[in-house]
Amino acid sequence: MAIVAGLVTACGSGGTDNAASSGPDLSSSSGAAASSGAGAPSSAGQAAGDAAQQVSTSIEQALQRAPITFESEKADLTAQATQTLGEIAKALQGNAVKITVATHAGYPDAEKAKALSEKRAEAITTALEGLGVPKDRVAQDATGNEKAQGDQALNTQISVAQ
């Protein structure tokens, strides 16, 4: 049932439609909560959790098919990266899930690494914004050379924000 709720949420159906279509299955678990006045927040929290799980799964699948990587010393997005970001933007439609973009750069010079990492994060955020994802839903974690070195620093991680 959670998968169906997650899919319905990800497709952008309104809250009242979700409740109407899944009413009988949820009545036994939420009946007591509804009578105490706690049903609505619980249902909203469950829907948000389902949406976050669905987005997280979509991001993982998109990044497995085509990781977002950068060329050494560059912050330009490749065609493959842009396609992956399109899949991620699609997963973010119809929900309020926020994501974190973690970028790196492997320069030994920490300042130079941080600056390139920030340019990479901004390139991803700008691309997502162009694909319809509001900028306030994308947190940037530009780590420079703090968390990744060498070829690992060319990879980007995207996850559901905590």
Give domain limits for the chain.
2-57, 67-160
The Cβ of residue 36 has, within 10 Å, a number of other Cβ atoms equal to: 8
Reported as a single tens digit per residue, the pLDDT across 16-65 is 333 333 333 333 333 333 333 444 456 777 878 898 999 999 999 999 99
CA dihedral (99, 55, 131, 18) in degrees, to 10, reads -120
CA Rg value for the chain: 19
- Report the share of the chain in percent with pLDDT over 70: 74
Q: Is it the case that residue 12 has pLDDT exceeding 70?
A: no
Nearest to 95 by CA among 21, 159, 13: 13
CATH class of 67-160: alpha beta
The Cβ of residue 102 has, within 10 Å, a number of other Cβ atoms equal to: 20
The model's pTM:
0.71
Complete DSSP assignment for the chain: -HHHHHHHHHHT--HHHHHHHHHHHHHHHHHHHHHTT-HHHHHHHHHHHHHHHHHHHHHHHHHHHS--B--TT--PPPHHHHHHHHHHHHHTTTS---EEEEE----SSHHHHHHHHHHHHHHHHHHHHHTT--GGGEEEEE-TTSS--GGGGGB-EEEE--
Averaged pLDDT for residues 112-137: 97
